[in-house]
Amino acid sequence: MKKIFAANWKLFKSPKETREFFAQFKELAGKATGEVVFFPSAISLEAASESLKGTSIKWGAQNAYFQAQGAFTGENSAQVVKDLGGSYILIGHSERRSLFGEGDALVADKVAFVQGLGLTPMLCIGETLQERESAKTFRVLETQLNLGLAKADKTKPLVVAYEPVWAIGTGKVATPEQVAETHTDVYSILKALGFESAPILYGGSVKPDNAAGLIKQPHVNGFLVGGASLEAKSFSEIASV
């Protein structure tokens, strides 16, 4: 299975900064050992599209609604992402769930709509620290996958990103043993649902100094990277493991 290295820029980088980043990153991209995907902020999507034309580097939006257009103030259109040459939509990130109240039913609608457009949904799942300490990790992930994929098409592309909420932007990272155990669980859940061909990415304070150890764990098919993806050098190092 191919490796995927995805960068979630969250609410960072203006269009000008986006162009400057890619001017530098394209010189380093040849070292990548798998597919590289960027998720810029909405205002910088067109800058990413223009910068990456003619390259093998993929990009997408951090969020999109489950309708192509309409009276949905503040939302992003997956159809426009497709028209601009994008390939992915990030769906169900923990910040969307916790800060903006997105539930599993909405996530399921988004996954199905994105697949219907011919784009690839990258579905994020993960447990809180309280849920892990209460031994609820498996149950939480199983519920998120069962409900989030309730309307998904098994014949169309899907990527799953496991991000323990307690390790996102905190500097904490799951141990290789924890990652191995949880990714094996996620794979078993996906297999039971008929999505065993979906790559499973790990996210949560991934950096150049821990990426090589994490990528060796079973069912770790790449990374979804936050802070360390904002600098071309550090992200290129992660993508070359």
Please confirm, yes or no, whether 93 is among the known catalytic residues: yes
Question: Pick the catalytic residue: 35, 93, 131, 183?
Answer: 93
Instruction: Count CA atoms within 13 Å of residue 208 on its CB side.
Output: 12
Cα Rg, the chain, nearest whole Å: 17
Question: Pick the catalytic residue: 35, 95, 163, 237?
Answer: 163
Q: What is the residue-wise DSSP string for the chain?
A: ---EEEEE-TT---HHHHHHHHHHHTTTGGG-SSEEEEE--GGGHHHHHHHHTTSS-EEEES---SSSSSS-TT---HHHHHHTT--EEEE--HHHHHHH---HHHHHHHHHHHHHTT-EEEEEE---HHHHHTT-HHHHHHHHHHHHTTT--TTS--EEEE--GGGSSSS----HHHHHHHHHHHHHHHHHHT-TTS-EEE-SS--HHHHHHHHTSTT--EEEESGGGSSHHHHHHHTT-
**What are the residue numbers of the active site?**
93, 163
